[in-house]
């Protein structure tokens, strides 16, 4: 089925007026974060076969992302793969990831053929700009990365630290074009991600190896040019083959609301959202400040403030009452997540009459499972095995219940 990317002749439902694209206020403040990749409409283009060797490689994402969860992408793949055998869900044409971050799950599932295409979105303009440039300006970006490594990172010591300070303080200059600002923002994201402790972009984390660089692991130990070049080119290959249809700089709510406008022919059963929001507890440690406000890069957008439960409640309300297509949600395993009526205590979506009649929101059953995995970096101390809860509206009869996908009773009884 082709994807019609023209917003001028589609809507959420025929009886609804077509809404013009919303321009978020953050773009006035941060010109380096366009809403999408410009210059080419990919939504209506046919996909082409993948030929990049990393399509089935172990490491695919160029970003080291805080909270990355080893093994989760394969479990999500198994979950979606099982759903494809149901009468309601066939081949998943589009996987949407509103909290893209390192996008490891999306990259792996499209490479493995579990889904046909992916759409990445992130509220953080640094992260969104990185994926946009990696996709659409691949070779120029690889060349710039190699230059940064040769001139600064490879030399180590004060030269590398000075460059780290430069990128930490960098902001688009007045009058800089949007395309130049986006490109430089992408480089800032990659440089800091590969040279900062745990890949954390906010202002509290320092360079790998510390200011004295006395550690055996210096500032450039995670800046492997050859591997990064391959991974960035894999992203470009996904874009060239229309497997990566776009990258949006939008918060989760705008992303989920806009997908039905752009991909109406896939709603509700051939598009799935995978959401991996910040931790229910201590999320501010990793996510609250993606920009250092002291360096005037711009205040964090609202979607990056997850230091209390309000944003978690808003997300739960949207998913359980307004979501127009199927979704899979991953969270750290906390009893309150499954017990609070403001979160995910319900076993069924509960849209209003208006949402059912005008938006076509379904009253899907909500299924919950516990899985075990390893965190590569988290709000917890160090690496280690941890439990994660998967919550989904994929057909319940197809959601596994086995040694990998376990009942949530053990979580609720804590």
As a whole number of angstroms, the distance between CA 149 and CA 147 comes to 5
Whole-number pLDDT of residue 38? 65
- Determine the Cα angle at 355 with ends 350 and 361, to 5°: 70
Burial class of residue 77 (count of CB atoms within 10 Å of its CB; 0-12, 13-18, 19+): middle
Q: Determine the pLDDT at residue 228.
A: 98
What's residue 40's pLDDT? 56
Q: What's the predicted TM-score (pTM) here?
A: 0.85
Q: Are 42 and 246 in contact (CB under 8 A)?
A: yes
86-117 pLDDT per residue, tens: 889 988 999 999 999 999 999 999 999 999 99
User: Which residues make Cβ contacts (< 8 Å) with residue 284, sequence separation at least 6?
Assistant: 305, 306, 307
pLDDT of residue 279: 79
Residue 70 backbone dihedrals phi, psi, to 5 degrees: -70, 130
For the residues of 94-142, what is the DSSP string, one character each? Answer: EEEESS-TT-HHHHHHHHTTSEEEEEEE-S-HHHHHHHHHHHHSHHHHH
- What are the tokens at 333? 């395993």
Q: What is the pLDDT of residue 407?
A: 96
SS3 content of the chain, % helix, strand, coil (to 5): 40, 15, 50
Residue recorded with tokens 């509220």: 123
- The pLDDT value recorded for residue 216 is 84
- Cβ-proximal residues to 13 (8 Å cutoff; 6+ apart), any chain: 358, 359, 360
CA atoms within 13 A on the CB side of 62: 30
Distance CA 32, CA 124 (A): 11
Give me the pLDDT at residue 43, please. Answer: 58
Nearest-angstrom CA–CA distance, 189 and 125: 9
Q: How far is CA 329 from its chain centroid?
A: 12
Which residues, listed in sequence order, are joined to residue 92 by a DSSP beta bridge? Answer: 115
Which parts of the chain sit beneath pLDDT 50? 1-33, 283-302, 377-382
pLDDT of the residue at 370: 96
Give pLDDT tens digits for 349-358: 999 999 999 9
Residue 103: count of CB within 10 angstroms of its CB: 28
* Residues near 377 by beta carbon (within 8 Å), at least 6 away in sequence: 64, 65, 66, 67, 68, 198, 199, 200, 383
At 413 the pLDDT is 73
**DSSP code for 175:** T
Give the pLDDT confidence score for residue 67 in this predicted structure.
Answer: 59
d(CA 345, CA 335): 10
What local confidence, expressed as pLDDT, does residue 134 receive? 97
Distance CA 406, CA 389 (A): 9
- Please choose, from the candidates 274, 359, 284, 313, the residue with its C-alpha nearest in 3D space to the C-alpha of residue 76: 274
């Amino acid at each position: 089925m082709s994807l019609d990317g023209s917003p001028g002749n589609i809507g959420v439902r025929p009886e609804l007026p077509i809404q013009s694209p919303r321009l978020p206020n953050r773009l006035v403040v941060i010109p380096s974060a366009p809403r999408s990749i410009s210059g080419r409409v990919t939504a209506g283009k046919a996909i082409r076969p993948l030929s990049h060797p990393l399509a089935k490689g172990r490491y695919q994402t160029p970003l080291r992302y805080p909270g990355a969860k080893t093994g989760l992408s394969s479990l999500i793949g198994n979950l979606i793969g099982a759903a494809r055998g149901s009468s309601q869900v066939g081949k998943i044409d589009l996987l949407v990831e509103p909290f893209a971050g390192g996008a490891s799950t999306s990259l792996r599932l499209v490479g493995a053929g579990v889904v046909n295409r992916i759409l990445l979105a992130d509220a953080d303009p640094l992260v969104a700009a990185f994926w946009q440039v990696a996709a659409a300006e691949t070779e120029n970006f690889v060349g710039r990365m190699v230059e940064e490594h040769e001139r600064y990172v490879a030399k180590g010591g004060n030269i590398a630290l000075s460059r780290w300070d430069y990128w930490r303080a960098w902001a688009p200059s007045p009058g800089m074009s949007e395309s130049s600002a986006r490109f430089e923002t992408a480089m800032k994201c990659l440089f800091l991600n590969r040279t900062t402790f745990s890949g954390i972009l906010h202002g509290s984390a320092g360079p790998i190896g510390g200011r004295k660089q006395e550690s055996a692991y210096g500032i450039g130990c995670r800046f492997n040019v050859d591997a990064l070049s391959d991974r960035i080119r894999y992203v470009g290959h996904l874009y060239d083959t229309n497997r990566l249809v776009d990258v949006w700089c939008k918060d989760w709510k705008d992303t989920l609301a806009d997908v039905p406008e752009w991909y109406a022919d896939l709603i509700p059963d051939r598009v799935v959202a995978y959401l991996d929001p910040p931790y229910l507890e201590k999320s501010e440690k990793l996510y609250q400040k993606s920009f250092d406000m002291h360096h005037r890069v711009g205040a964090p957008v609202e979607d990056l403030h997850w230091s209390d439960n309000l944003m978690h409640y808003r997300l739960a309300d949207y998913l359980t009452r307004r979501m127009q297509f199927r979704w899979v949600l991953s969270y750290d395993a906390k009893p309150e997540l499954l017990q609070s009526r403001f979160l995910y205590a319900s076993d069924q979506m509960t849209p209003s009459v208006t949402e059912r009649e005008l938006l076509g929101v379904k009253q899907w059953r909500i299924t919950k499972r516990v899985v075990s995995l390893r965190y590569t970096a988290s709000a917890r101390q160090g690496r280690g095995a941890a439990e994660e809860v998967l919550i989904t509206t994929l057909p319940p009869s197809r959601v596994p219940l086995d040694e990998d996908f376990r009942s949530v009773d053990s979580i609720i009884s804590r």
